[in-house]
Amino acid sequence: MGGIRKEAIYAGTPVSRGIVFAPVHVMARGFSAPEVHPIANVTRETERFRDALSRTKRQLEGLQEHMESLSGNEEGRIFEAHMLVLEDPVVLKGVPKAIEDRRQNAEYCFYAVMQNQLESMRRIPDPFFRDRTTDIEDVCQRVLRNFDTEHEEPAPDEPDHQHLLVAYDLSPSTTAAMDRHQVLGFATERGSITSHTAILARSLGIPAVVGLRNAVFNLHALDPCILDGYEGKLISNPTPETVRKYRELEEQHQLRRAELDKLRDLEAATTDGHSITLSANIEFEHELDLVDRSGAEGVGLFRTEFFLLENEECPDEEKQAALYSRVAKRVSPSEVIFRTLDAGGDKVPGEPLSEPEPNPFLGWRGIRFSLDRQDLFKEQLRAILRAGTSGRVGLMFPLISGVGEVRQAKSLLSECMDELTERGVEFNREISVGAMIEVPSAAMVAADIAAEVDFLSIGTNDLVQYTVAVDRVNPRVAKLYRSAHPGIIRLIKTIIEGANQHRIWTGVCGEMAGDLTLLPLLIGLGVDELSVGAPLVPLVKQAVRLLDFEECSALAKQCLEASETRQIVQLCSKAAATTYPELLQEASGGASAPSFAAHPA
């Protein structure tokens, strides 16, 4: 089908580098787009549509009975609401009319009619209508599956061939569960650079673009596409000329990557000998292969929540200790820093909250959750302590807002040591303990926090969101998310000074650490460690090796005096562009993520 359709370009925000050539699989909000093809027999297609509706109705009646027999109450009535959707004239009359007018297969006409209907409903500000769209999406998915009459079991949603996934939105957990061999890249209409979905894509090396307008509605299943994760484009039905251009580009990028891979065993030190510890951020054990290849010096941030929240039930102490020990052994002699559970925000716990929080990023998240659920927290702490006998291990607490939380967490840690001693289980008392600084109040009292811990790690993704009051996953305000805001730069300076007072090290593990434009500034401000997604390590290492520490310090001084984001961006862009123009080009796209949304002209 693709050959007939014209090339179309959708522009979005690049969040993870790479170029992908593949047929597209479209996942609308809640349901996937079927293939489209012309038909000759309108009557037959209309019958197929009616059959699919009847099958769906029978299933819904069955489900309703089943629910009522289980719960003995009226819960089965939600399926009645679903059945009403099937009786709506928009469906009963609209779909046959669309088949007649468009002369396209029934499932595609049904899909198109329902998408139109849903789009109109989503625009109505009344929450009643917005809520109803979820019901309708659910029914649509069921009807679409019921067009497949050959199988007792409905066809699976995901294709069994390599594809490029285009979706309205993707949750971090769906992204984490993606089959890397089948999903070669993805593009979404929603999303932002510092959402966990984008962070995961970068960590796993899956090319990705977010914020594409209208792609879901306009693309057809199996359309041949090119995803450009450098410039943030999706090109459907590309012409042979476009394909050739992208093949050449891909070759150039591969050559540059091969050059950077040669840096694997070299040190991340500036031309005048100032060393930086360059480590990797990971979410899964299997990423350790990428870490090995990247030349990172250990793991600066292990986001444990993906492992802990994967299933309904949190893995117990034994399972956690086994995983953490394997990781520690593998990373040894370098260090791995486990970040304790950071549930909440855009990472939902397996055990759903009784009611959704109005502002999840300001809600029950990070250390707050752990201090309230001490049973879970202590299980994790004991598991990390035990892993300390297998290699160099550190742990850090997320979303600290003041020194009291650190003291409380540390006191639970020492209770865990006593418990392990009592049980006669081996552990390491000397593991390093750090605090993540990602809340402005914590940044302001960084010196007090530094007195309690062995290191500070700045989580800029959250520090920026909370300081400039911009939701990190809301595309509507993405352009206001400014890492280079003078307020942020001054806070980072305060944090580093606080750490220096107590002679402990400061790292940056948010996405800003991989922002090549701001790198000279971070180094000049005096950060000791940078932790970035493994695929970014070679780029950042090469950049560090080209910088001069004295010049970076002078730049930091100037930036600390600037009163506008614009001035800081200009100063940093100039420094970066004169030192490593070709690296900036290679990093364009998701690589140095915040350079885009964060540095408006």
State the minimum distance, in angstroms, from the CB of residue 560 to ligand PEP.
21
Asked if residue 509 binds ligand PEP (CB under 6 A), the reply is yes
Asked if residue 510 binds ligand PEP (CB under 6 A), the reply is yes
Contact with ligand PEP (CB under 6 A) among 342, 528, 529, 548: 342
State the minimum distance, in angstroms, from the CB of residue 509 to ligand PEP.
5
Please tell me the distance from the alpha carbon of residue 2 to that of residue 35, in angstroms, as a whole number: 11
Q: Which is nearer to Mg ion, 34 or 459 (CB)?
A: 459
Residue 306: which of 396, 169, 172 has the closest Cα?
A: 172
Q: Per this entry, what is the length of the chain?
A: 601
Size of the site for Mg ion (CB under 5 A): 3
| Sheet of strand 163-167: strand arrangement | 8-11, 233-236, 224-228, 19-27, 163-167, 183-188, 208-210, 13-16
Residues 174-233 that bind ligand PEP (CB under 6 A): 199
Helices (H), 179-273: 196-204, 215-218, 240-261
Sign of CA dihedral 559, 563, 565, 567: negative
State the minimum distance, in angstroms, from the CB of residue 253 to ligand PEP.
26
Tell the burial category of 232 from Cβ atoms under 10 Å away from its Cβ (0-12, 13-18, 19+).
buried
User: Both tokens of residue 379?
Assistant: 């299980």
* Binding partner of 303, given Mg ion, ligand PEP, none, CB within 5-8 angstroms per partner class: ligand PEP
* Binding partner of 460, given Mg ion, ligand PEP, none, CB within 5-8 angstroms per partner class: ligand PEP
Kindly indicate which of the ranges 137-145, 154-162, 333-341, 435-443 contains the residues binding Mg ion, using the contact rule CB under 5 A: 435-443
* Binding partner of 279, given ligand PEP, Mg ion, none, CB within 5-8 angstroms per partner class: none
State the minimum distance, in angstroms, from the CB of residue 512 to ligand PEP.
8
Please tell me the distance from the alpha carbon of residue 360 to that of residue 548, in angstroms, as a whole number: 42
The three-class DSSP label of residue 82 is helix
Asked if residue 594 binds Mg ion (CB under 5 A), the reply is no
- Taking a C-beta distance cutoff of 8 angstroms, is the pair 407, 346 a contact? no
Catalytic choice (82, 196, 220, 274): 196
Residue 143: which of 36, 280, 48 has the closest Cα?
A: 48
Please tell me the distance from the alpha carbon of residue 13 to that of residue 594, in angstroms, as a whole number: 11
Residues 456-495 that bind Mg ion (CB under 5 A): 459, 462
Q: Which is nearer to Mg ion, 281 or 588 (CB)?
A: 281
DSSP designation for 35 = P
Residues 395-454 that bind ligand PEP (CB under 6 A): 438
Which residues are within 8 A (CB) of 144 and not within 5 positions of it... i.e. 6 or more apart?
31, 32, 34, 52, 107, 110, 111
Q: Which is nearer to ligand PEP, 317 or 438 (CB)?
A: 438
Catalytic choice (509, 552, 559, 572): 509
Is 82 among the residues known to form the active site? no
State the minimum distance, in angstroms, from the CB of residue 347 to ligand PEP.
8
Q: Which residues pair with 210 in a beta bridge?
A: 13
Kindly indicate which of the ranges 135-143, 354-362, 456-464, 545-553 contains the residues binding ligand PEP, using the contact rule CB under 6 A: 456-464
Asked if residue 461 binds ligand PEP (CB under 6 A), the reply is yes
State the minimum distance, in angstroms, from the CB of residue 364 to Mg ion.
15
Is 196 among the residues known to form the active site? yes
State the minimum distance, in angstroms, from the CB of residue 345 to Mg ion.
8
DSSP designation for 350 = S
Type and span of the H or E element at 60: helix 42-71
Kindly indicate which of the ranges 169-177, 274-282, 379-387, 454-462 contains the residues binding Mg ion, using the contact rule CB under 5 A: 454-462
Size of the site for ligand PEP (CB under 6 A): 11
Q: Which is nearer to ligand PEP, 462 or 529 (CB)?
A: 462
Please tell me the distance from the alpha carbon of residue 336 to that of residue 388, in angstroms, as a whole number: 10
Please tell me the distance from the alpha carbon of residue 466 to that of residue 439, in angstroms, as a whole number: 6
Q: Which residues bind ligand PEP (CB under 6 A)?
A: 199, 301, 303, 342, 438, 459-462, 509-510
Q: By the criterion CB under 5 A, which residues form the site for Mg ion? A: 438, 459, 462
Q: Could you list the active site residues?
A: 196, 509
